[in-house]
């Protein structure tokens, strides 16, 4: 099953760049085995009061450098092999992902081959770089589907996924990354593509689904139809947003608030405490669900959306979001992606796999 994982004897460094924190994973790749997540470290992005995009980017880069240095120090203290490859995985708001359908028609039947596809993609990339998007750097360009392939036709379609980040951000991250290792190419990808690839590998019989990453400050959804990511959408409400709103009402710490939410959703709370928590929780829950509905509304009518949903959510709020994703209007069949569902794709030590998005990024890094 794991023949697609290449032999890499070094320790590899996988970064997960999210909306509220930056994670770094020390990962070992071995032939015919899933990637092994040795250690996962997280550094929060200090941005509670930051609204300016440049200051927010600077705060993220600071967290990126700190968590990378912590990971390198941990690797040395544990006597791990030197760092080999570096992988950078981006979530919203740092990355923009789009899927483009390129249609090719001819007066005579033609056969679309690998060479034709490569030339078409190169021309599309050249046009992208010459256009209004010069301030963006393409971190991934992936063909998701070709219809028909290697057979005579008068019309064909290529589904092309492209993800880009600001060019100045890319250059600064490459500069910082050079402190962690030298020379080898640094590989980049979006978390949306990583999650899509893993879910599609596990369930090839389900070509239509929604994936949602509930980040710290931003939630991001990817719509998959016919085995292709057709749209992505995000909205500025996430796990930390909910906890922050409720903790202000309760006068509790973030850890206490998360624990109270979990107990409430599990029905393991006394009536007085539940009554005190409920108004603030209902307000925050409504804000998130409203954001979710508004983000998906321009994409499609509810009737046209896939009804199978996979969600990457930290375990302590999983029960809350399972409830929030229930709707009479949109009867989603929700699956929370957790350690058990990822065991075929990544193994781990200690509690490293508790960071689900890090586990997804580590698994995908072993495939590319």
Q: Residue 135: pLDDT above 90?
A: no
Which tokens sit at 141?
A: 């360009």
Phi-psi bin for 79: left (phi > 0), alpha (psi -120 to 50), beta?
Answer: left
Spatial contact of 364 and 35, defined as CB atoms under 8 Å apart: no
Q: Which residues pair with 1 in a beta bridge?
A: none
Report the distance separating Cα 320 and Cα 265, nearest Å.
6
> What is the value of pTM for the model shown?
0.90
- Provide the strand spans (E) within 70-135: 83-90, 96-111
Scan for tokens 């250690």, then name that residue.
39
- Burial state string for 222-254 with b = 16 or more CB within 10 A and e = fewer than 16: bbbbeebbbbbbbbebbbbbbbbbbbeeeebee
Of the CATH numbers 1.10.260.40, 3.30.420.40, 3.40.50.620, 3.90.1150.10, which one belongs to the domain with range 8-94+167-201+341-365? 3.30.420.40
Separation of alpha carbons 237 and 284, rounded Å: 9
Is residue 20 within 8 Å of 314, Cβ to Cβ?
no
Q: Angle CA(316)–CA(322)–CA(324) in degrees, nearest 5? A: 110
pLDDT for 185-234, tens place per residue? 799 999 999 999 999 998 889 899 999 999 989 999 999 999 999 889 99
Q: What is the pLDDT of residues 157-172, one digit of tens each?
A: 999 999 999 999 999 9
pLDDT (tens digit per residue) in 42-74 = 999 986 655 578 888 999 999 999 999 999 999
Distances 35 to 45, 83, 107, 127 between C-alpha atoms, Å: 27, 15, 48, 37
Tell me if 358 sits within 8 A of 191, measured CB to CB. Answer: no
* pLDDT score for 351: 59
Fold: same for 8-94+167-201+341-365 and 209-337: yes
Domain range annotation of the chain: 8-94+167-201+341-365, 96-165, 209-337
Strands (E), the chain: 8-17, 21-29, 36-44, 83-90, 96-111, 136-147, 152-166, 187-190, 209-214, 219-225, 228-235, 308-312, 333-336, 347-348
The CATH code of the domain at 96-165 is 3.30.1490
**CATH fold of 209-337:** Nucleotidyltransferase; domain 5 (3.30.420)
């Amino acid at each position: 099953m794991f023949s697609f994982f290449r032999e890499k004897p070094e320790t590899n460094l996988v970064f997960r760049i999210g909306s509220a924190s930056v994670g770094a994973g020390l990962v070992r790749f071995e032939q015919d085995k899933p990637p092994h997540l040795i250690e996962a470290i997280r550094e929060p992005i200090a941005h509670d009061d930051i609204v300016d995009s440049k200051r927010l980017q600077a705060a993220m880069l600071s967290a990126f450098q700190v968590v990378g240095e912590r990971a390198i120090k941990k690797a040395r203290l544990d006597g791990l092999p030197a760092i080999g490859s570096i992988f950078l995985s981006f979530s919203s708001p740092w990355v923009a992902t789009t899927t483009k359908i390129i249609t090719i028609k001819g007066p005579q039947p033609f056969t679309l081959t690998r060479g034709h596809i490569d030339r078409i993609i190169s021309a599309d990339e050249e046009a992208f770089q010459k256009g209004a998007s010069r301030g963006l750097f393409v971190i991934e360009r992936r063909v998701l589907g070709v219809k028909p392939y290697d057979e005579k036709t008068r019309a064909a379609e290529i589904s092309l996924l492209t993800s880009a980040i600001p060019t100045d951000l890319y250059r600064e991250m490459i500069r910082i990354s050079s402190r962690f290792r030298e020379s080898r190419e640094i590989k980049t990808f979006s978390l949306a593509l990583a999650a899509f690839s893993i879910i599609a590998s596990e369930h090839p019989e389900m070509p239509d689904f929604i994936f949602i990453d509930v980040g710290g400050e931003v939630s991001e959804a990817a719509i998959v139809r016919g085995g292709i990511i057709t749209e992505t959408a995000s909205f500025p409400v996430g796990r930390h947003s909910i906890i922050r709103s409720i903790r202000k009402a309760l006068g509790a710490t973030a850890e206490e608030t998360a624990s109270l939410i979990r107990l409430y959703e599990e029905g393991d709370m006394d009536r007085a405490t539940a009554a005190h928590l409920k108004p603030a929780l209902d307000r925050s829950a409504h804000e998130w669900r409203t954001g979710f509905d508004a983000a998906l509304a321009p994409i499609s009518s509810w009737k046209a959306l896939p009804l199978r949903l996979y969600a990457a959510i930290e375990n302590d709020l999983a029960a809350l979001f399972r409830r929030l994703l229930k709707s009479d209007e949109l009867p989603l069949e929700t699956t929370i992606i957790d350690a058990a569902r990822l065991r075929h794709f990544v193994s781990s030590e200690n509690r490293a796999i508790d960071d689900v998005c890090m586990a997804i990024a580590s698994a995908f890094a072993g495939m590319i």
